[in-house]
Structure formats: C-alpha cells, structure tokens
Structure 1
Amino acid sequence: MDDETAIALSGELVKSAAISYFDDSSVEIDGWTATASDVGFGQGDVFFVEIDASIRGTNRPISLVCKRLPYNEEHLDSHSLWYWRREAEVYGDLLAGNRDLPGGITAPSCYKIAEGDEQIWLVLEHVQGANLQDFSYDELLESARRIGHFNGHYAAHTDEAAKFGHWTSRDWIKNWGNRSNIDETWSRYREDFDACEYVRKASPQEVVKTRLDLAREARDLPDRYDTLPKTLCHLDVFHKNMLRGQSNQLVLIDWAFTGIEIIGADLSCLVNFALLVPSSGTAGKEGQFERDILDAYIAGVQDAGYDCDSDLVRFGYYAATTVRWGGMILGKWPYESATWPKVKAWCGVETREEHADLVRRWHDYMISVMKNALQFSKRLNNSNGAH
C-alpha cells in the first residue's frame, strides 16, 4: 500500500473499529495486518484487516474490511456517477440499523463510519461467502427473483425510495452510455484486430460492425425509456459484488453506484457477467438463460406487490443493457499478459481460445438484446402514438 494509505489506516482506526465491533471499550489490540484487495481490474482502497484483539485477557481475533472513500472535488454532485460519499450515505441511511432489505437481500454489517477532511473509512463485516463464480444456474435464477423483489418493492413504494433522494445517482445508465464514442471504439478495435489473433477470433469484423451499427441506431434509446417505471437499484450487481451468505442469504457489496433507474436495469450486469462465467452453467444457453432469468426477476417484482406490465420490465432490461454494454468491444486487453491472469480467474477458463469462444457467443447475444431493445422501443412509440 502507498505511504498515504498506510498512514491513514492507522492503529487508532483499527482499535476504534474493534471497539465498535465488540461494543466494548476495554478491547486491547495486540497486533494487526492489512492486505490490499484487488477491486475490479485496478487496485482500490479496500483492505482485509486481521486484528489480534483481546478483551480482559481473552483472545478475540477478528477479520474486518476497511474501505477508504477518498475526497474528490470533481465528484461532489450527489446525483452524479461517481459521487465520492455515496457508499457512506448508503450505510448511514438505507442500511442504518437494518441491513436486511426487501427480497431477502442483505449487506455486510457496517461497524463504523469514520469521517475525516480528506477521506471516509467504512469498517465492514468481512463476508466470506461464495460469489457468482460458484453460483449454480438455479441460484442465479433465485438471485434474480430476490433482486426483482427488491426493485419491485421500491417501485411500489416510491415514498420510501424518495427518502434517499439526496444521495442517489440519477440516470446512471444513460450517463454511462454517453461516455462511449462509437467511432473511437471502432478505431481502437481495428488496431487490435490487425495486431492480435485473439481479437480476430473473439470479435470478427462483421460482428463488431453489426453491434456498433445497432449502437448508433440506439443512441436516442435513453430518451425513449424515460417513461418506464423507475425504482431504487444497486446498479453494480455483478460477479464480485454478489455473495452467498449464511442461510443462503444473497449479500450485495459495493453500493457506490446506488440510484434511481428504470426497472430491469439491475439485471444488466448480472446477466452479462453470468454469460462470461461458464461455471454457472450458462455457456451455450444464452437464449434460455435470458428467458429464465427474466421470468424469475419479473416474478420477484410481482411478489413485491408491484403491478407492472411484464413487457415494460423486459424492455427495461433490454434498454439498460443496450445503453450500458452495446458499444463496448473488449478488444485485446483480456489477452494481454497483465490482465489475462485476472480474466482467467474471473471467467473460469484455462486458455485464451476458450475465452475467445465465450466473447464470440456474447457478441451474438448482445446483438439479439440490442435488436429486442429497438423493437420494444418502436412498439412503445407506436402504442403511445395510437393514443
């Protein structure tokens, strides 16, 4: 860890965390170690902290997660993509005093929110459960049902979601999509295609051209889905942020993007990452998996008491996936020596050839999603025009 972070994660903070964990001021710290955790494909300020603690002579070792939220003057807008305080707001508001959420979803316990001038430290429970890589096909469907219930609850109870309005992100999917430049994506892809056999196998030119043509056609899609139902969403339900907790609870971590989005948006990451993790039993079953997981999600929405046209939920999923993922072409970076070990571990494949096959099938799936999004959009426009 760098010097600044090493100083910030101090013995004083560790002792304060242990006192909060045990709710006992007599805690003594005999030693502690902190190991930085990889977050995504970069190094984040997340640390697994092992504390050799004792209370009145009895050894009480504990394991905690300490997460640093650094102050960033460029991200002060509480509704923006990257609002720097958002996860602290989630734990201090949405999850304050009760980490059990609608649908049987839970989050790590938060033992302390330590605020400073330049940073906030979150002291969290270290949940040591299996993540999406180890979920079975049926467990993925059950997870989708629970997430649907969570989204459906807040769609049905907009007054509850409104209480969090001072810190929730707004138009997260739309703003994410606005960051992509299709012409630049095509230019980078052509360079990678010429230089790398992996790219030529994983992403044939005619397939990529079809995807980017559809992405251009879908540029005004966000304006068309503004009439869809909105709800409170996690917005980063993917691979490393889903854990199977005790009693088969679905534990969601990393709430930094939480916001108000169209219903169905929370499925976007879940489905796309599941398709790139063949150990879940989804490989070669893209169409069936989509049907099954949408049915499970919609059942959860309805179980929560939200009465909504199921086609609008499907459109929400297709639209969110198209806007967020439609213009994303992986290129050669999964192949490169610096990133391949993580890609291999994440996707559960042994060779780059296997991964290229996964990506090739994912392109085909994305093309079908984008076509569905555009068809649903036209149908919705025609229906509105008829009225």
Structure 2
Amino acid sequence: MIFKMIIYNNTSLPIEKKVDQLYACIHKMIGENGFKIDAFTCDALESETLNFTTKGIYHLYGFLETNNEQLPWSIILKVIKPDSEEKDDIKHHNYWRREALLFESNLLDHLSEYIKAPNTYLVEEQNDGTIWLWMERVNGHFAHSKEQFNFIAHRLGMFNAEYLTAKALPDEKWVCKNWLKSWTTSSRMYAPNPEPYIFKLQDEEIKYIWEWFKRLTEEINEKLASLSNLPHVLAHQDLGQKNMILTSNDQLVLIDWQFLSISGIGEDLGKMFGANMSLGIIPTDQYETYRDSLFYSYIKGMRELGWEGDERLARYGYCISTALRSVWEVPQLCSLVAQLESDPTNPKLQERVYQLKQIINIHKAMDHEAESLKD
C-alpha cells in the first residue's frame, strides 16, 4: 500500500500484518476492486461462553471510499485453536477444525431458504497453529419472547424437513454423526461427582432426583442407540440464544456452526429448549408452555415443507435430547445444594438451585414421555 493506513488495534492480534487479507475480504463483500480504506478499528468481542476451541472473536470495522462515496463496512474475525487430544478426533462433537472445514467446503452457501449462515470471506491457517475465520457481521437481534422462539422453532422444522423431503444429507467425514453420544460422554467425564456425599444432603427432593438420575444413566446407551432409528436431518446443535440472530427482514441467521451434525429429528429442538432453559433465557414459570409451543411450531414447519411422517418420532428425539442434558445438570445441582447447605442464606445459590430443580423436573417428565413413546 502506498498510503499510510491508520489502524486502531485494541487487541493483541497482529492485525497490522493482515491488510492484504482485509482488502480481499472486503472485495468479496462488496464485489468491487475500486475502493480505498484510510483507517479501521479492531476490537475484541467479549463473550462469557467461548467454546474451548475458540481463542477469541474480534470485530473489524471502518469506512471505505468508492466512487466518491463513504460506506461503512464490518467484519467478524473468529480465531479457533486446538484444545485437547479428544478434540483432535474428527468424530468428537467438538472437533476443533470442523467449522473451518465447513466454511472451506462452501456447504453453507446454499443452506436453505429458511435458515441462513453468515457469508465467509477467508479461512486462513496461522503459523501458531490457530485458524482465522473471516466472515460477515450479521445485524439483528436475539430472541426474547415466546413468539420469537416459536418463530425460530418453526424455521428449524422447515430446515429439518428439507432433508426428509428434498435434500440429500452431506457425506463429509468431518460432519459429526453421533453428536449427543459424544456430548453426553464428555459431560459425564467432566461433571462433578456427587456420589460420595449425595445421601448426606438434607434435601429429600435431591435424593429422589438422584435415584431417577442413576436409572437414566444406567439406560443411557440404550437411549442413545434408539436415536439411530429416527429419520435423520442436518442439525446445528448449539442453539443458545446468542447463536440465533433475527434480522429486520424476518431472516433467521445461525452462527457458530462448530457442532454441525447429522442427528435425529427433534434433537436440535431439544438442544434449543434445554440450552435456553439453562441459560436463564426461558422464564422458569414458563418451561411447560415453551416445551409444548416450541414443538407445535417445529412440527408445523415440517408439515408445511411436506413431511408426512409420524410426529411421535420427532417428539421422541425432542424428549431424549432434552432429558439427557441431565448428565451435566444433575451433578451441578447436587454440587450447588451442598454449597447451599453450608451457606443457606446465599440468594444467588438459592435462585440457581430452584431454577435447576425446575429444569430437571422438565427433564424427568420428558424422559418418562420418551419411555411411553418408545413402544
């Protein structure tokens, strides 16, 4: 570059060395070569829930000059990294290279009319072993109301139904084939172990939950195996509130495709319902209302796309996917109850224990419903 560019780098990234890459990305974004950038800013985006394989997420933005006009531009840069040996396994639910391979494959470019993904401009391997993913910044808002979550569930049903009525599933080796099995295995490995102290706790409700939980875990392999009998669809498997962006023109854009999988119908909806209960997005007193309205909306979307199968199959996948989140949340609950017995007036502990009890009551109910559907 023959002119002096001003770079406001508020991060530790060596972004000053990436001006050529930035220009290449903006060219892809606007489809023109004749533009100039005099200055830009790079900020780190704060996130409380970064994946183990995500080193950081950054926002690059500024103005460009083209045809005597100043136009704003904005790019998201996601840096992914290796983590542990298990995440080097292509079959692992959190295989660290999956999102990079997905973007390089262009599989998401023609994803669906009903669910979109951000445009990807560049996938760049670095000398330090990380991979930089340069992508579109999507403007929109997150779901907060039941109506907005129902809209997302409806779109998810349409998206899933496409793979039962028209589209072939991808056959790339890096697409996860047993996401829920891998996730439950990892969760059981890293969750607290309440076994040594569970029956010393004074809370009788916890003891009943623990007895149910032991039966659940004894049958977990059978439950997971049963999902292979469901019709299979492409699934996102990480539908927390901040990975689902609603745009002003009624588009649903999903970000963070690290967990992309082929899963049974209903599984992705179960992840969405369960994760947003855990995150505190769905109000505690509306768990049952959301449980049923989300499923109704999901099935409605599937029917509109022409799927004529037995909706009990989708309900089974939905129930199992939600119930098996207990492999993480029951041990967490037991650990918090032990803390609460030592600190009984702690309001944050009281609130979280109450919330987890209500979540696990939903898990139990959906586990029992799955058992009734299985036959």
Q: CA deviation at 1:80?
A: 3.1
Q: Partner letter of residue 315 of structure 1?
A: Y
Q: How does 1:106-185 map to 2 (within 5 A)?
A: 106-115=116-125, 118-132=129-143, 134=144, 136-157=145-166, 160-162=168-170, 164-181=171-188, 185=192
Match of 1:343 in 2: none
Q: Which runs of 5+ in 1 are unaligned?
A: 195-199, 337-349, 380-387
Q: CA deviation at 1:220?
A: 2.2
Q: CA deviation at 1:184?
A: 6.4
Contact 1:38–1:44 (Cα < 8 Å) also in 2? no
The 3 A distance-change label for structure 1 pair 365 and 224 is same
Match of 1:93 in 2: 106
- Cα offsets for 1:152-204 (capped at 9, x unmatched): 1112335x213x4333111011111122438964438949x97xxxxx88x84
1:62 to 73, 85, 99: 73
- Cα offsets for 1:356-377 (capped at 9, x unmatched): 4322211211111222233333
Contact 1:174–1:323 (Cα < 8 Å) also in 2? no
Q: CA deviation at 1:271?
A: 0.8
Match of 1:383 in 2: none
How far apart, CA to CA, are the structure 2 residues paired with 1:247 and 1:184? 41
Q: CA deviation at 1:150?
A: 0.6
CA RMSD of aligned residues (A): 3.5
The 3 A distance-change label for structure 1 pair 82 and 272 is closer
Contact 1:173–1:324 (Cα < 8 Å) also in 2? no
Question: Which structure is higher in RCO with an 8 Å CA cutoff and minimum separation 6?
Answer: 1
Count of matched residue pairs: 350
Q: Secondary structure at the match of 1:161?
A: coil
Q: How does 1:1-387 map to 2 (within 5 A)?
A: 3=12, 5-6=13-14, 10-42=18-50, 44-55=55-66, 58-70=69-81, 74=85, 75-91=87-103, 92-96=105-109, 98=110, 101-102=112-113, 104-115=114-125, 118-132=129-143, 134=144, 136-157=145-166, 160-162=168-170, 164-181=171-188, 185-187=192-194, 190=197, 204-276=206-278, 280=282, 282-329=283-330, 330-331=332-333, 353-377=350-374, 379=375
The percentage of counterpart residues that share the same residue type is 22
Q: CA deviation at 1:57?
A: 5.5
The 3 A distance-change label for structure 1 pair 257 and 333 is farther
How far apart, CA to CA, are the structure 1 residues paired with 2:317 and 2:16? 42
Q: Partner letter of residue 77 of structure 2?
A: C
Q: Secondary structure at the match of 1:287?
A: helix
Q: CA deviation at 1:321?
A: 2.3
Contact 2:326–2:360 (Cα < 8 Å) also in 1? no
Match of 2:7 in 1: none
Contact 1:243–1:250 (Cα < 8 Å) also in 2? yes
- Cα offsets for 1:45-81 (capped at 9, x unmatched): 2111123433365433322111123367944554432
How far apart, CA to CA, are the structure 2 residues paired with 1:277 and 1:179? 19
Match of 1:344 in 2: none
- Cα offsets for 1:263-316 (capped at 9, x unmatched): 111112211233346665x43232232122112111212222222111111111
- Cα offsets for 1:210-267 (capped at 9, x unmatched): 3344333334211223211111111111221111112121111111111111111111
How far apart, CA to CA, are the structure 2 residues paired with 1:16 and 1:182? 43
Q: Partner letter of residue 373 of structure 1?
A: A
Q: CA deviation at 1:324?
A: 4.1
Q: Secondary structure at the match of 1:111?
A: strand
> Scaled by the length of structure 2, what TM-score is found?
0.79
> Scaled by the length of structure 1, what TM-score is found?
0.77
- Cα offsets for 1:112-133 (capped at 9, x unmatched): 333556343222221232213x
